Amino acid sequence: MIEQMKRISLIFALLAAIGFGGLPPTTANAQEEGLESLRQTESAFRSVAKKVSPAVVYIKVEKEISPQEQTEMLPFGSPFNDEFFRRFFGESPHFRSPGASPQKRLEVGQGSGFIIAADGYILTNNHVVGGADKVLVKLQNGREYTARTVGTDPPTDLAVIKIDEKNLPVLNLGDSGRLEVGDWVLAFGNPFGLSHSLTAGIVSAKGRSGMGVSDYEEFIQTDAAINPGNSGGPLVNLDGEVVGINTAIFSRSGGYMGIGFAIPINMAKGIRDQLVEHGKVTRGQLGAYIQDLTRELAESFGLAKAEGVVISQVMEDSPAEKAGLRQGDVILKIDGKAVDNASNFRNRIALTAPGTRVRLAIVRDGSQKQVDVVVGELARGDGERPADGGKLQDLGLSLQELTPDLATRLGYEGETGVLVTAVNPGTLAAEAGIERGDLIREIDRQPVRNPLEVRQRLTAKDKKSHLLLIRRGQGSLYLALKTSN
């Protein structure tokens, strides 16, 4: 009897240990801890929304388009066909204003922005407000204002506008340099005109360049859902600090497909200051063409690793030439910080004030050395670009290196050549039949691999006409381009 009672007691003890038919304590505790973690995240999102939303604005713009402009541009600009890249300006239907001339059209668009100063300064994208005749701003509380454009900077796609009001809510600007892949971020804006929307996601990647969206690129990539109308809105961290400005999406449908891009706020800060103080931006330059150092190039230069960028050309009487830099020098560091790629190096020089002395760590003929360079001033419209860009203004041609990302998006996988990103109407390039999105494979039966080679061939003084082999879509064709009349 005593033994039987011991066995029964043991059975009850075991049942109690596993919760008597319920979940084991460890499982129940883990489940509750998981729910509590979600509640904390939920609370964090609510807190950020309350903090940020009052300083996010809805922007509506109007522009009267002439017949000539209607043939020159897609609605408010896009670097390629809408199928590939959209700056999600909010493509509202076009309509003709009452009483307007039949030859003109009123174009309407929408976007977002956020207040950066209590006296009415607002940061947004250039492609949202650039060239607009009228800019209207609406706050979360419903109040509406007519804004004036303080300054725009197309190369970075940034702009500052201002409304006449005081004591406005302001967003704090964070440090985008501290972002890590996997960090939570929240995107605010007005997608499809749905005012003050919030979406959450993570930082998917950093330092994205070569996208063909703007001249100076170092985008934050995020999977936070952003759509047409979000452009110019803030991307914030869980502290409610702005870490980026929503600028572009990759989409084949026109809507969210899991990939969005934001301008890092650290890049925007200096641009903002110059636009507010001077209404324009002054940039630094070295006067040298640079390109990424591939593994093959590194081997050719006798380097063990493909680190840094290589100088492909030094301009005469430039800061680079005066400092003694040469063609073939490999730049490893600037002021002690490693150079990741040509785009990164160019951005850092451009954001350096003219007259500043910088120290470059270079490799020349297998030996490392230090070179001090006094940064010069980049003239407005100047074309100091690395191998990922270039502009032949006289011909009306804008070019871009064919990066692997662009090759995939445009269907040029496995091809080599130089991508045409813009053709100005009425120019020699337009008359030759060159179109945006074309891939220039050869000039005068010689292959071209970067914009610098195209520039050198087309600006040769001994030729007035050139034969171009173009890849367009799935086909190829020859075009004759005159470089002078």
DSSP per-residue letters across 76-143: T--SS-TTTEE-----PPPBPPTT--TT-EEEEEEEEEEE-STTSEEEE-HHHHTT-SEEEEE-TTS-
Nearest-CA neighbor of 124 among 254, 260, 344, 271? 271
Q: How many CB atoms lie within 10 A of CB 255?
A: 15
- CB contact at 8 A, 74 and 125: no
Instruction: Give the DSSP H/E element, type plus range, for residue 262.
Output: strand 260-264
Q: 312-336 as b/e, with b when 16 or more CB fall inside 10 Å? A: bebeeebbbbebebeeebbbbbbee
Give the catalytic positions in this structure.
127, 157, 231
d(CA 383, CA 378): 9
Q: Is 393 exposed, middle or buried (0-12, 13-18, 19+ CB in 10 A)?
A: exposed
DSSP per-residue letters across 346-370: HHHHHTSPTT-EEEEEEEETTEEEE
For 379, which DSSP code?
Answer: P
What is the torsion angle, in degrees rounded to the nearest 10, for the CA atoms of residue 141, residue 147, residue 150 and residue 153?
80
- CB contact at 8 A, 244 and 235: yes
d(CA 360, CA 333): 6
